[in-house]
Structure 1
Amino acid sequence: MAIWGIDLGGTKIEGVILSSLNDTTPIVRQRIPTEGEKGYDHIIGRIAQVLELLKTSSGLVPERIGICTPGVLDPGMQTMKNCNSTALNGRPLLADLERVLQIPVKMANDANCFALAETHLGVVKQQAPDAKTVFGIIMGTGVGGGIVVDGKIIEGHHGIGGEWGHNFLDISGGPCYCGKTGCVETVIAGPSLERYYAQQSGQKKLLKQMVADQHTDPYAGETLNRLYEQFGRALSVVINILDPDAIVIGGGVGNIEDLYTKGKERLASYIFNDRVEVPILKPQLGDSAGVFGAAALVG
């Protein structure tokens, strides 16, 4: 039976139909702008529109659908929280979607969908096929994560399983949007690293340029060394608690090659073990991870 998924992003909504979890070649794929500035009800209407496009172009009808969201459904309140698409916060998105779409819906946030997609359809399946526990990392404009055990997402009692980006790391990170101070996200997210560079150098430089200039610009080298050190410290907490069989790093910061060598070296000095054996992998699915992960929710 075909599996259906929709990725609800801040700028676009994408839908896909896959034949199964064993095939990443879409039967149909559709994408439209989110138009989130028009409000909550309009976003729901746009999701319904994507579903209709999928049905029309495929001639198929879904029995259920998975949806990747930019935030979390609170298990107790049954309303959305922690969404960067703020129109969703506090709203009963799952109930409203099931009412409008008239089919069962399974939802998970983008980090969870990333982890699920790379486990079933991406790099974990290719390079660590026997992995039972997978930790998927998002390191970009923010820091998040998702946990997959035996092929299923671990959402947790509060719906925040895997959210290592809001553990305390270092007071120097300063205030976080979540209301706390020194979160992992305030230290090793892309904008946080750029802010640190500006504080040290008095100039602005994009992270990508820092990587290019790290051997000629001492401030760039210092900022990247801070990344590797703090990455190792932050990830060690996850490994000490979860001890996953595979780790996958997504997001723009995850494209920095030395993270997989120098970052792993720093990790070794913090974990409660004498060596780091867990594979730390680069993702394979790119921007398809969200929509493929959504489909995997119902696969």
Structure 2
Amino acid sequence: MNSKVTSETYKAQLPLTLRNRPTLENLDMSDKELKKTLKEIRRTLGELQDVFYAHDKYGVLICLQGMDTSGKDSLIREVFKDFNVSGVEVHSFKVPTELELSHNYLWRHYIALPAKGKFGVFNRTHYENVLVTRVHPEYIMGENIPGIHSVADINQEFWDERFKQINDFERTLTKNGTIVFKFFLNLSKEEQRLRLLRRLAIKEKHWKFSPGDLKERKLWDTYQDCYEEAINNTNKEHAPWYVIPADNKKAARVIVASILLEELKKYKDVMEPELDDKIMSKLDTYQKELENE
């Protein structure tokens, strides 16, 4: 693990004020050094994943939130590159489907949770339900909730209740063997502008651009306020938030990978299961049988 990164440094401290948190960190390393460091950490993470899979007692849920262009997709690709593909599942939550809207808002997240022994990555998460829907409360009307007849019915009490529901959801998960990590990729507005310009300038990146990105960008301050309130209301010891400077993508990946490794190593009970005594006593016999075929 990179000694320059500790999970405590990036853990959200309440009350959180995002404008006081840095958006740029390079860990005093060049791009080449950052790439090498990540390679070393993710190899160890991949080996640890195998042990978690064999141990079969904990699932690991990694939640990634951030403004558009904050680097969620590339972080997933680079940090989890050395994982066994059968042991990690990535879910990207888009606009809810008709089926998803016919259930409560947490349903689609419940059914995507990682099984014990596996890692799950949520690219955008259940927090969209107190972020994008808060910026655009009219979206709530599609959920057809009893007692909500118009946007005027969606008040502070409604959001406070959602924060409570999310806290209850995450506490239930952790009490039943899911380790929850929540990362907010803290991007500056200027860096987002530059990344959007790159999408427009590079033909191969055109597909990533949508005019809607510019509309949402105009709501930057509103989104920042909503993120701040969501983090302050749901930062719990059993499911903490980590605020990751995201202007330097390579450094952000190293930080996230380092935190995962540091925290997962704290689970000292996680180890590969041993064969029972009966099988152990016959290993030589099994070996000879195979050698003599």
Shared fold (TM-score, shorter chain, > 0.5): no
Q: Which has the higher contact order (CA 8 A, sep 6+)?
A: 2
Larger Rg: 2
Output the TM-score relative to the length of structure 2. Answer: 0.27
**Structure with more of its chain in helix, by fraction:** 2
